[in-house]
Amino acid sequence: MSTDNKFSMGHIRPAPESFLDRDLIADVSANGVNSTRRGLLRGALAGALAAVAAQATARPDDPAIVEPAPWSTRLGNPVLTNPYGQPSRFESATIRRQSPGLTQTDEASVSFTPLQSTFGMITPSGLHFERHHQGWVDIDPRQHRLMINGLVDTPMVFTMEDLMRMPSVSRMHFIECGANTALEWGNSAVPTVQYTHGMLSCSEFTGVPLSLLLERAGFDLKRATVLLAEGADGSSMTRTINIENALDDAMVAYGMNGEMLRPEQGYPLRLVVPGAQGVSWVKWLRRIEVGDAPYATKDETIHYVDLMPDGQLRQYTSIQEAKSVITSPSGGQRLMNQGYYNVSGLAWSGRGTVTKVEVSTDGGRHWQTARLEGPVLPKALTRFNFDWTWNGEAALLQSRVTDSTGYIQPSKPELKAVRGTRSIYHNNAIQTWRVMPSGEVENVQLG
């Protein structure tokens, strides 16, 4: 398909604010909208609409260009106005959010990443989703220790100085809570991609390969089959880790996106277990025990167990299988008019690399291949984009990922046929967004 003329297929309507007087913008910006200003805004908008009607004959000059803007005619702010930089004041919609009623306490709770508003593959550290089991803590790094004990020649203690002095690696990996999309097993339950898929983030992590630390302690090659990772927070959260996978690419990380970990993400130290669900990435990591039998901790026996239709609980489920989702347009958003749209989303696999993402606009009847944006890395989020010209009719948008093992993301009916609807964890089914003729996009399930 030629894309040469894609921008001419729909009419791009200038945003109404482009017709507002600069002084009025500055006034509203500084003082808010009162009834007088609201009247002026209405008048300006009416004028703008009239102007659109008259557009065929004479396009009015855009005041955003012909009127001097305050930011172009004043001295700007000095350096260090914000010693640690902040997003623009116009980006206040892009924040983590809770799902009301999901948890009764805020300490054992979740906040979701606003996937609808992020770009590329990296999640800004301040938007990285939170999941705590007994509240978050901010640990003095000088007081933090990592112990390695169990089946080792020499049980060891490392300070942050020790760890940060060691050879380091930096890698980009996704982290997804095993319960991401848990609310959607039975029905469409939440309105936007922030709540359906927002227990998902991707960062560059820097730290020491776990294999090196285990070797340093002289772990028992013959007997060791698992690790226990333990946090230093009140819950001292523990999980059994697959040592085979851990020796491959796990790391004890202190860095995240070029700075130290955020406290909500385990400052000063967390375990990074690429491909495994977030709960295995133990935060505020204080101890690793090398063992020869799994530990059946609370978060792998009472929670994070997947209930199957026969009543059996799958225990030690860890890996996040391949999954993808369209992040824009997505639930709760609105298309303003017909024409070209860049359909954009994220794909990932805990077993390897994303090799293909396909997009359907008709509920899965027909699929077309999307563009993968680089870099495409193992066990990392991969951004995909897809050219779409909306004709104004109802549409059902879906994405489907294939990973390097040949695994293809299942539809909801395909997943439910095996796992039922009560498993809570590991819902990686294809997501459907319905675009209404009004342009409104909503979260739906097909059956």
Partner 1 sequence: MSNWVKAMALSSALVACGAMAGSTDVDAIAGIGREATPNEIKAWDIDVRPDFQGLPPGQGSVEEGESIWLEKCAVCHGDFGDSNEIFSPLVLGNITAEDIETGRVASLTDPGVVRTTLMKVSTVSTLWDYIYRAMPWNAPKSLAPDEVYALVAYLLQLAYVVDYDFSLSDENIEDVQAIMPNRNGVTTDHGLWSVDGETDVMGSDCTSNCVVPLEVTSSIPDYAMNAHGNLKDQMRDYGPFPGIQTAPENAPVDVDVDPVTADRAVPEAALQSNGCLGCHRLDSKLVGPSFAAIAEKYAGQPDAADYLASKIRQGGSGVWGSIAMPPMPQLAPEAVDEITDWLVAR
What part of residues 122-161 is at the interface with partner 1 (CB under 8 A)?
133-135, 147, 149-150, 154-158
Closest approach, Cβ 79 to partner 1, in A, equals 27
Stretch that binds partner 1, among 1-9, 72-80, 93-101, 254-262 (CB under 8 A): 93-101
Burial (0-12, 13-18, 19+ Cβ within 10 Å), 149: middle
What is the DSSP track for 244-277? HHHHHH-EEEEEETTEEPPGGGTTT-EEE-TTB-
Stretch that binds partner 1, among 2-10, 70-78, 254-262, 437-445 (CB under 8 A): 437-445
**Rounded to whole angstroms, how far apart are CA atoms 186 and 101?**
17
HSE at residue 89, side-chain half, CA atoms within 13 A, is 3
Site for partner 1 contains 264 (CB under 8 A): no
Window 43-82: residues binding partner 1 (CB under 8 A): none
Query: Is the CB of residue 62 less than 8 Å from the CB of residue 69?
Result: no
Q: Which is nearer to partner 1, 54 or 296 (CB)?
A: 296
Site for partner 1 contains 376 (CB under 8 A): no
Site for partner 1 contains 26 (CB under 8 A): no
Window 404-433: residues binding partner 1 (CB under 8 A): 407-411, 413-415, 418-419, 422, 426, 430
Q: Which is nearer to partner 1, 57 or 92 (CB)?
A: 92
**Sole binder of partner 1 in the list 123, 180, 194, 203 (CB under 8 A):** 194
| Strand-strand pairing, 145-150 and 285-291 | parallel
Amino acid at 103: T
**Sole binder of partner 1 in the list 123, 181, 242, 257 (CB under 8 A):** 242
Using DSSP, state whether 185 is helix, strand or coil: coil
Angle, helix 22-31 to helix 35-53, in steps of 10 degrees:
140
**Sole binder of partner 1 in the list 129, 295, 348, 388 (CB under 8 A):** 295
120 vs 131, 340, 425, CA distance in Å?
23, 20, 26
Burial (0-12, 13-18, 19+ Cβ within 10 Å), 235: middle
Window 307-366: residues binding partner 1 (CB under 8 A): 307-319, 321, 328-336, 341-342, 350-352, 358, 362-366
**Rounded to whole angstroms, how far apart are CA atoms 320 and 276?**
6
User: What's the N-to-C CA distance of the chain in angstroms?
Assistant: 31
Window 195-234: residues binding partner 1 (CB under 8 A): 195, 209, 211-212, 215-216, 221-222, 224-225, 228, 230, 234
**Rounded to whole angstroms, how far apart are CA atoms 230 and 237?**
6
**Sole binder of partner 1 in the list 21, 244, 259, 393 (CB under 8 A):** 244
355 vs 2, 195, 325, 376, 398, CA distance in Å?
24, 26, 15, 8, 17
Q: Which is nearer to partner 1, 80 or 293 (CB)?
A: 293
**Sole binder of partner 1 in the list 44, 110, 139, 243 (CB under 8 A):** 243
Query: Is the CB of residue 54 less than 8 Å from the CB of residue 26?
Result: no
Site for partner 1 contains 1 (CB under 8 A): no
Closest approach, Cβ 80 to partner 1, in A, equals 25
Closest approach, Cβ 314 to partner 1, in A, equals 5
**Rounded to whole angstroms, how far apart are CA atoms 25 and 17?**
9
**Sole binder of partner 1 in the list 72, 93, 140, 142 (CB under 8 A):** 93
The first and second tokens of residue 224, run together, are 């060791």
Q: Which is nearer to partner 1, 203 or 277 (CB)?
A: 277
Q: Which is nearer to partner 1, 56 or 439 (CB)?
A: 439
Closest approach, Cβ 68 to partner 1, in A, equals 21
Q: Which is nearer to partner 1, 51 or 356 (CB)?
A: 356
